Amino acid sequence: MPDERDEVPGTGSSAVGDAGGGVSETEIAVHWQEEEYYEPPASFVAQANLTDPQVYERFSLEHFPDYYTEFADLLDWSKRWDTVLDSSNPPFWRWFVGGELNASYNCIDRHLEQAKNKTALYFVPEPEDEPIEAITYQELFVRVNEFAAYLRDGIGMQRGDRVTVHMPMVSQLAVTMLACARLGVIHSVVFGGFSARACADRIVDSGSSVLITMDGYWRDGKWIDHKEKADQAVEMARQDGRAISSVLIWRRNRGSYGSSFGLVEGRDVVVDDVIGQYRGQRVEPEAMRSEDTLFLMYTSGSTGKPKAAQHSTGGYLSYVTAMSKLILDIKPTDVYWCMADIGWITGHSFIVYGPLALGASSIIYEGSPTYPDPGRPWRLAERLDVNIFHTSPTAIRALRKVGAEEPTKYHYNFKLMVTVGEPIEPDVWRWYYNVVGRRNAAVVDTWWQTENGGFLCSTVPALKPMKPGSAGPGVPGIHPVIYDEDGNEVPAGTGKGGNICIRNPWPGSMLGIWGDPDRYVATYYARYCKDPGSKAWRDWPYFAGDGAMLAKDGYFRILGRIDDVINVAGHRLGTKEIEAAALKVAGVAEAAVVAAHDEVKGVVPEVFVTLLPGVVPSEEFGTQVVDSVVREIGPIARPRKVWLVPDLPKTRSGKIMRRVLASISNRGDIGDVTSLANPEIVEQIQGMVQS
Ligand code: WTA
């Protein structure tokens, strides 16, 4: 059964690009006007973690990189570092070198003395009649240790091994990640809604020999049989030369196996059946070097194949802990709910690692935010007395669409609300602030990426006023800049867009792209590197791949992706991956994917295809293209529409003009097409699409 969780995603980002060098999301971005400021509520400021206006001075570039010791000092190190930043091999930055620590220890063990009886994780099942489970720090400690003991002694996993994890939103996912971290095993969590094919590609690329999954789960009122994907993914990985020796299956429901796909003898183990043998076992946390890899997180980039951002232990954990404290304002007493999926970076950083490192209570909600009705999130907030709420523009738009008045019916009290993943329209922002937050909560619009570990731009909620639609200045320590195509700085207040870059390295930044150092340098640092031979970090600005504008007040407004990545409901999808899936359908000759504007998801893919000569067009092709995209990537990439066209608009050199197609889909200005090789096709396609 398909996982339809693309319908109302919890969070994620938005864009089009053009593989052929045409339009970018930036160019089609809406031209917003300057917005009014909103001051943070006095009640918020009175209790905030960060109220010292000197912070920006302390974190100025003059004091770089030493200011980041404030972040590292939030953690417990088994051995203190001796070098804050080793930048001797740019752009491969290494933070807190010489230091040793364990992420699982920092997220669990260190809280036991003071707070073992406090809830670490709430698991909220989608069926509302199933009880919510509150897992204390002590209980999390026990579960993580027992599972780590099994991974080590039962499966033979060791420090440095990779494991692929393909699971839904359940507490066992966090237990799995923390058990891996305890052993120094590198986890690669694949979004549960992704297809078997996507899972297999990540198994192969990461070199995993173990896959951890779950029998099934609830989504939108339906039971999803998830184990089938594991069987398929293992087979696909085998064909691609990677053998999975063990598939570990957690059971969603105590005592009953919920999949119609049986166990493969000698390969599959139901975790719940064996874990009893490890009862009471304790695993000493491995002392990891700061620069050891904690996890891999795959993301789409402009050259088709997904790539894994490789995140460090010490730098990453310091960064997400600091961001959770300073920007999300998390305190140990808070109940915090982030609606993102743990299968994305937001969930790693801001459901699991950051909140737990601070000893807060973090919620894992299994299901769809609008199931069984649009009041669900607000009921949940009321019930658990959530005071920090984190979601995406897509989810906000969807919740507003299905129940604009719903929040007023419930008694909850948010002190802070977060948006992440894509630009938020000021109008949507105002509904979030006025109706969801009742003008009583500070809002932070946090701009960042999978590769970054944590936030790059956002207001510090007690120090800077909010401005709808603008993320804000760099967070303390981050020094962004906008460059034009030639590498000149675009000053503040010119109203001109450009490429947003970061002048300095920061601890949350990835170590590299797993197995592909050249791609890491080429994608993020080659664009504006002043001198490839230079050893000075100042010569290596980070290129984010987003367009942005800088207002006079120092606030950045993010316009969207400039590469051929389309940002659907906050999730980056490569247009080339979608086109490749369309081309798998027999009879399809060419495919072009564009980003079409959508009221709820921001942007959705539309596909234009041509057929091979002699192939008779029929409705069938549309269905087959959609099926192929869902099978290859997952429902999240489902095209809204597939257009069968006689030809695609092309330049005289044969490049497909995706920009023209995007303008047709979005009913925008097509511009001058007379120089195309086949201008007549434009009008024909326009007739089909816009009629
Ligand atoms: C976009 C998600 C505008 C941006 C954390 C970025 C945003 C991409 C925002 C990264 C925001 C993320 N405002 N755009 N607040 N946050 N984006 O890797 O285009 O899934 O490059 O990381 O989402 O998406 P990713």
User: What HEC string does 561-593 produce?
Assistant: ECCCEEEECCEEEEHHHHHHHHHCCCCEEEEEE
| Cβ atoms of 487 and 465 closer than 8 Å | no
The pLDDT of residue 13: 31
Distance 31 CA to ligand 1 centre (A): 18
| Centroid of chain to Cα 185 | 21
The pLDDT of residue 561: 85
Q: Which among 467, 463, 444, 464 is positioned nearest to 455, based on CA atoms?
A: 444
Ligand 1, atom 12, lies closest to the CA of: 421
| Cβ atoms of 458 and 424 closer than 8 Å | no
Question: How many Å from the N-terminal Cα to the C-terminal Cα in the chain?
Answer: 35
The pLDDT of residue 21: 38
Work out which ligand 1 atom sits closest to the CA atom of 423. Answer: 3
Q: How far is CA 327 from CA 60, 447, 570, in A?
A: 18, 12, 20
The pLDDT of residue 5: 42
Ligand 1 mutation pick, 13, 392, 510, 603, max ligand atoms within 8 A of CB? 13
Distance 594 CA to ligand 1 centre (A): 19
- pLDDT category at 155 given cuts 50, 70, 90 is very high
| Cβ atoms of 214 and 249 closer than 8 Å | yes
- Report phi then psi at 535, rounded to 5: -100, 5
Half-sphere exposure of 229 toward its Cβ, with a 13 Å CA cutoff? 36
Q: Which among 443, 448, 492 is positioned nearest to 474, based on CA atoms?
A: 448
The predicted-structure confidence for 367-402, as pLDDT tens digits, reads as follows 999 999 999 999 999 999 999 999 999 999 999 999
The pLDDT of residue 662: 92
| Cβ atoms of 282 and 40 closer than 8 Å | no
Distance 88 CA to ligand 1 centre (A): 30
The pLDDT of residue 31: 54
Ligand 1 mutation pick, 299, 327, 328, 422, max ligand atoms within 8 A of CB? 422
Work out which ligand 1 atom sits closest to the CA atom of 450. Answer: 18
Distance 15 CA to ligand 1 centre (A): 10
Distance 422 CA to ligand 1 centre (A): 5
The alpha-helical segments, DSSP class H, found in 275-351 are 314-326, 345-347
φ/ψ bin of 280: left (φ > 0), alpha (ψ from -120 to 50), beta (otherwise): left
Question: What is the mean predicted confidence (pLDDT) over 122-131?
Answer: 98
Q: Which among 520, 524, 561, 517 is positioned nearest to 540, based on CA atoms?
A: 524
Question: What is the mean predicted confidence (pLDDT) over 1-7?
Answer: 38
Distance 329 CA to ligand 1 centre (A): 21
Task: Return d(Cα 575, Cα 542) in angstroms, integer.
Answer: 23
The pLDDT of residue 20: 35
Q: How far is CA 434 from CA 38, 274, 400, 404, in A?
A: 11, 50, 12, 11
Ligand 1, atom 22, lies closest to the CA of: 449
Distance 532 CA to ligand 1 centre (A): 28
Distance 570 CA to ligand 1 centre (A): 7
Ligand 1 mutation pick, 28, 448, 562, 568, max ligand atoms within 8 A of CB? 448
- pLDDT category at 606 given cuts 50, 70, 90 is very high
| Cβ atoms of 200 and 219 closer than 8 Å | no
Ligand 1, atom 13, lies closest to the CA of: 423
Q: Which residues form the pocket of ligand 1, taking CB atoms under 6 Å from any ligand atom?
A: 12-13, 15, 299, 344-346, 420-423, 445-450, 471, 544, 546, 558, 560-561, 567, 571-572
Task: Return d(Cα 234, Cα 632) in angstroms, integer.
Answer: 15
| Cβ atoms of 151 and 116 closer than 8 Å | no
Question: What is the mean predicted confidence (pLDDT) over 44-67?
Answer: 98
- 602 pLDDT higher than 90: no
Ligand 1 mutation pick, 27, 327, 449, max ligand atoms within 8 A of CB? 449
Ligand 1, atom 20, lies closest to the CA of: 571
| Cβ atoms of 298 and 306 closer than 8 Å | yes
Question: What is the mean predicted confidence (pLDDT) over 198-219?
Answer: 97
Distance 26 CA to ligand 1 centre (A): 13
The predicted-structure confidence for 220-249, as pLDDT tens digits, reads as follows 999 999 999 999 999 999 999 999 999 999
The pLDDT of residue 19: 32
* Among the ranges given (136-140, 308-312, 452-456, 567-571), the one the predictor scored with the smallest mean pLDDT: 567-571
Work out which ligand 1 atom sits closest to the CA atom of 561. Answer: 19
Counts for the chain of helices (H) and strands (E), in that order = 22, 30
Work out which ligand 1 atom sits closest to the CA atom of 471. Answer: 15
Question: What is the mean predicted confidence (pLDDT) over 682-690?
Answer: 93
Distance 560 CA to ligand 1 centre (A): 8
Q: How far is CA 4 from CA 7, 182, 396, 596, in A?
A: 6, 33, 18, 20
Q: Which neighbouring-strand residues pair with 288?
A: 101
- 520 pLDDT higher than 70: yes
Rounded CA Rg of the chain: 24
Distance 421 CA to ligand 1 centre (A): 4
| Cβ atoms of 211 and 205 closer than 8 Å | no
Q: Which among 598, 602, 570 is positioned nearest to 391, based on CA atoms?
A: 570
Q: In 10 A of CB 180, how many CB atoms?
A: 29
Q: Which among 662, 652, 670, 498 is positioned nearest to 592, based on CA atoms?
A: 662
- 618 pLDDT higher than 90: yes
* Among the ranges given (80-94, 427-441, 667-681), the one the predictor scored with the smallest mean pLDDT: 667-681
The pLDDT of residue 26: 57
Distance 14 CA to ligand 1 centre (A): 7
Work out which ligand 1 atom sits closest to the CA atom of 13. Answer: 23
Work out which ligand 1 atom sits closest to the CA atom of 25. Answer: 19
| Cβ atoms of 337 and 346 closer than 8 Å | no
Work out which ligand 1 atom sits closest to the CA atom of 346. Answer: 5
Ligand 1, atom 11, lies closest to the CA of: 447
The number of residues making up the chain comes to 691
Ligand 1 mutation pick, 311, 323, 567, max ligand atoms within 8 A of CB? 567
Work out which ligand 1 atom sits closest to the CA atom of 451. Answer: 18
Ligand 1, atom 15, lies closest to the CA of: 447
The pLDDT of residue 663: 92
- pLDDT category at 304 given cuts 50, 70, 90 is low
Distance 13 CA to ligand 1 centre (A): 5
Distance 456 CA to ligand 1 centre (A): 10
Ligand 1 mutation pick, 307, 447, 524, max ligand atoms within 8 A of CB? 447
Work out which ligand 1 atom sits closest to the CA atom of 544. Answer: 21
- Look up the pTM and report it: 0.92
Distance 127 CA to ligand 1 centre (A): 31
Q: In 10 A of CB 434, how many CB atoms?
A: 12
- 682 pLDDT higher than 90: yes
The pLDDT of residue 87: 97
* Among the ranges given (441-445, 446-450, 634-638), the one the predictor scored with the smallest mean pLDDT: 634-638
Query: In 3-state terms, what secondary structure has residue 608?
Result: strand
Task: Return d(Cα 283, Cα 517) in angstroms, integer.
Answer: 34
φ/ψ bin of 438: left (φ > 0), alpha (ψ from -120 to 50), beta (otherwise): left
Work out which ligand 1 atom sits closest to the CA atom of 571. Answer: 20
The predicted-structure confidence for 135-149, as pLDDT tens digits, reads as follows 999 999 999 999 999
The pLDDT of residue 27: 53
Average pLDDT taken over every residue of the chain:
93
Q: Which among 178, 162, 176 is positioned nearest to 105, based on CA atoms?
A: 178
Beta-carbon contacts of residue 648 (< 8 Å; ≥ 6 apart)? 590, 592, 608, 610, 656, 657, 661, 681
- 63 pLDDT higher than 90: yes
- pLDDT category at 18 given cuts 50, 70, 90 is very low
Return the higher-pLDDT residue of 309 and 654.
309
| Centroid of chain to Cα 241 | 28
Give the single-character DSSP code of 413.
-
Cis, peptide link before residue 90, omega less than 30° from 0: no
